[in-house]
Amino acid sequence: MAECDASGREVAVTIITPATPNTWIRDVGSDIAIGQKVLSAGDVIGPSELGILATVGVPFVSTHPTPRVGVLSTGDELVDASTVCLSRDCI
């Protein structure tokens, strides 16, 4: 068997222990228990989370986009950062 390292050079791989049947094989469903909570409300859904949902047979989930906030300054409410005391309606 031959493999390549990060630079693309071929390196030799020697297998010194024979594989035995059923070694490192888990039974179906052994990784997640029945009733186990796999995700929580507020979790960000990425590739790993999609895989978990597919594993437990969940085809759809309700999601909400991350809220965005903006500040629109329309007047003289902005004051210099060195202002010691802010008056009403100033930021």
Please name the residue that has the structure tokens 């100033």.
90
CA distance 13 to 4: 10
Inter-CA distances, 20 with 14, 16, 17, 46, 50, Å: 17, 13, 9, 36, 33
Q: How far apart are CA 78 and CA 91, in angstroms?
A: 5
Model pLDDT for residues 17-52, shown as the tens digit of each residue: 888 888 877 777 778 888 899 999 989 999 999 999
Higher confidence at residue 74 or residue 22? Answer: 22
- Quick one: pLDDT band at residue 13, thresholds 50, 70, 90? confident
